[in-house]
């Protein structure tokens, strides 16, 4: 069952997993992709938290299914604002232990920025197809998605989750990434401030990014940092290669849990 937590910008929908051990151990926090929500993760959060025997929360950002509308248009400051929102969410939920962030795509970017901004809060970060800068393949992939959205099938698939929010959500997401003003965006300087261990995974068939995204993380993060290209996986490797992804995450965290 989903719950709500109120932050300054609006009400956030979230779900607890393994709530009976909520305050005993590190907390897994799942941050969805740019068009995602709690439901769109599928069984991945529950399976991973069960295998790790850790509590978890999954939440939908503002403007996504179950949460209030987004208060502002997406711009270069969007990802850092979302990192600050997560800080407020954790404070409102009175969770004091360190968190392990599991972020997909835009959620991976937010995870990295949260770790850079609030290092005292983070035990480790796992990213799945995170973006750290804008590539040509990113823009081309978004443009392809715009065409699919106009043709109806993609729109219909998103409407199953986001309902009346679908149009504004898609316009905000696609408009940001294809904007000429966004082409020089990157988080390289932020990556250098990360102190916790990082594992970054990406599919070798990712339609929105190349291996250069992984290299940018590896070359800028000064703490322990592992990268892995997942064969025969696209932008959502936790769907395409769930067993492999879960195994890599468990191996990465094996010596980091209390």
Q: What domains are defined for the chain?
A: 3-135+186-253 (3.40.50.1820)
List residues bridging with 5 in a β-sheet.
12
The pLDDT-based confidence of 21 (bands split at 50, 70, 90) is confident
Write the pLDDT tens digit of every residue in 96-122.
889 999 999 999 999 999 999 999 999
Q: Collapse the DSSP code of 108 into the 3-class scheme (helix H, G, I; strand E, B; otherwise coil) and give the result.
A: helix
pLDDT at 138: 98
Q: Collapse the DSSP code of 240 into the 3-class scheme (helix H, G, I; strand E, B; otherwise coil) and give the result.
A: helix
Write the pLDDT tens digit of every residue in 172-203.
999 999 999 999 999 999 999 999 999 999 99
Write the pLDDT tens digit of every residue in 135-163.
999 999 999 999 999 998 899 999 999 99
Q: Once rounded to an integer, what is the mean pLDDT over residues 206-220?
A: 98
pLDDT at 19: 84
Q: State in Å, rounded, how far the first CA of the chain is from the last one.
A: 28
pLDDT at 25: 83
What gap in Å lies between CA 174 and CA 65, rounded to an integer?
17
Write the pLDDT tens digit of every residue in 46-77.
999 999 999 999 999 999 999 999 988 899 99
């Amino acid at each position: 069952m989903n719950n709500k937590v109120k932050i300054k910008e609006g009400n956030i929908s979230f779900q607890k997993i393994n709530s009976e051990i909520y305050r005993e151990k590190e907390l897994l926090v799942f941050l969805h992709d740019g068009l995602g929500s709690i439901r769109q993760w599928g069984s991945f959060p529950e399976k991973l938290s069960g295998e790790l025997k850790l509590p978890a929360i999954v939440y939908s950002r503002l403007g996504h299914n179950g949460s209030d509308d987004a208060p502002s248009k997406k711009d270069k400051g969007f990802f850092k604002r979302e990192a600050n929102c997560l800080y407020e969410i954790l404070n409102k939920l009175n969770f004091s232990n360190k968190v392990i962030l599991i972020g997909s795509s835009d959620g991976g970017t937010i995870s990295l920025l949260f770790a850079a901004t609030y290092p005292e809060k983070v035990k480790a970060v796992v990213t799945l197809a995170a973006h750290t800068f804008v590539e040509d393949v990113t823009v081309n992939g978004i443009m392809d998605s715009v065409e699919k959205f106009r043709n109806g099938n993609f729109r219909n698939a998103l409407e199953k989750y986001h309902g009346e929010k679908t149009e504004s959500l898609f316009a905000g997401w696609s408009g940001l990434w294809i904007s000429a003003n966004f082409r020089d965006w990157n988080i390289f300087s932020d990556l250098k401030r990360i102190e916790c261990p990082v594992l970054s995974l990406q599919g070798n068939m990712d339609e929105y990014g190349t291996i250069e995204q992984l290299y940018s993380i590896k070359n800028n993060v000064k703490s322990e940092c592992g990268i892995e290209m997942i064969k025969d996986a696209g932008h959502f490797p936790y769907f395409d290669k769930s067993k492999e992804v879960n195994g890599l995450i468990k191996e990465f965290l094996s010596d980091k849990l209390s």
